[in-house]
Amino acid sequence: MNVATGVRMALLLLAMATSGGSIAAGDDAQARIERGRYLAVVSGCNDCHTAGYVTSDGQVPVSEWLKGDTFGWRGPWGTTYGTNLRLFVSGLTEAQWIDAARTLKRRPPMPWFNLNAMSDEDLGALYAFTRSLGDPGLPAPAALPPDQEPDAPHARWVLDAAN
């Protein structure tokens, strides 16, 4: 061990001793939340579950993230809306969230198969981040059947089997 590493370790041990050992736990919890934030961004969660995220090039305050959206996605399945994920996880324990994420199957454009494939650690980090955001807000609109035209703005998916 070199001198710099020894000094860092001594300072860490001193900080832990004077704080009752809570530094590591606090750092771990914050690191988990930051990992969840990172995953929400790179996995595209905000694209559908945060109002205005895509149209503002991601310039939506974090305080508004994952509250769902009224912008619809219309296709042969009907019209779907980005669920309010804060509200969804607010009624679940972390274990229940992980179980739900493992078996989740949704209509397009939700890439549920990507969520199913995440590790327990990543799903736990997403849960911690989502729960850290605070007030869950209001539910997103319910999905509409294929024969019902949405009133709100929406994107229409045209599936062309010939191409």
How wide is the angle at C-alpha 44 spanned by C-alphas 147 and 140, nearest 5°?
45
**Site of tokens 């850290």:** 132
Residue 46 and residue 130 in contact, taking contact as beta carbons nearer than 8 Å: no
- For residue 13, pLDDT over 50 is answered with no
Q: How far is residue 83's CA from residue 130's CA, in Å, rounded to a whole number? A: 13
Is 80's pLDDT higher than 90?
yes
Instruction: Say whether pLDDT at 19 is over 80.
Output: no
Cα(147)–Cα(143) distance, rounded to whole angstroms? 12
Split at pLDDT 50, 70, 90, the class of 25 is low
Q: Could you report the per-residue pLDDT of 113-161, keeping only the tens digit for each? A: 999 999 999 999 999 999 999 999 999 999 999 999 999 899 999 877 7
pLDDT in tens, 29-76: 999 999 999 999 999 999 999 999 999 999 999 999 999 999 999 999
DSSP 114: H
Domain borders along the chain are 44-156
Contact 46, 58 (CB under 8 A): yes
For residue range 92-108, what is the model confidence (pLDDT) as tens digits? Answer: 999 999 999 999 999 99
Q: Output the pLDDT for position 152.
A: 87
